[in-house]
Amino acid sequence: MDDIVKAALAKWPNVPNCYGWLGLDARGNWYMRDDQAQAAGPFCAPSHEPGRQAASKGSLLKHDKLIDFIQRNYESDPQGQWFFQNGPQRVYVELEATPLVWRVESAPAFAVTAHTGMAARVQRCVMDEHGRLYLETEAGFGLVHTLDMLHAADAVEQGLWVPQEVLAHDLPGRFGYVRSPQILQKS
């Protein structure tokens, strides 16, 4: 966490949390979700239930320094809700898929780096019923970026990663994260 953020927390310890205003998509992109975007629908793609609103991502963040600041101050609380510590305020993040999105380098290293730039070591590999590949690391759980599936497939073919089958809807409970802290607040 940045020193300026720690100082703001000490100065203003009781700032209310913020929900619904920031989203992370399945490719590691950040989205700002203003009132209009939130009113248009949830960030996460809805299931195929009748009466559910369509997803509304909001505006893609493109400012490199802002993205770097968010990523340096991105972590989870004990309930598995991921947030960006914005000075004294926690801005809880709506997740399209997982809290981390993994980039995978080619053979022979198959080095793994989160969308935040943090390097990690693979502990476990799982695959859902849709063929999406996920990695559990000491840094957390995340989806392999779509652009890196060939590298990940090479690691699987070489026997370095052995995917365990899991149902997509079981992932948050099994790996301890919340896709929508905003919905959790409304329950």
Instruction: Read off the pLDDT of residues 109-123 as tens digits, 9 standing for 90 and up.
Output: 999 999 999 999 999
pTM of the model: 0.89
Residue 53 has pLDDT above 60, yes or no: no
From 9, 183, 176, 181, select the one nearest 78 (Cα to Cα).
176
Please write down the long-range contacts of 19-23, taking CB distance under 8 Å and 24 or more positions apart.
19/92, 19/181, 19/182, 19/185, 20/92, 20/94, 20/182, 21/91, 22/70, 22/84, 22/91, 22/92, 22/93, 22/94, 23/57, 23/58, 23/93, 23/94, 23/95, 23/96
pLDDT value of position 10: 72
Confidence of residue 87 (pLDDT cuts 50, 70, 90): confident
DSSP at 1: -
Mean pLDDT within 27-52: 81
pLDDT value of position 48: 47
Mean pLDDT within 160-164: 98
Residue 90 has pLDDT above 60, yes or no: yes
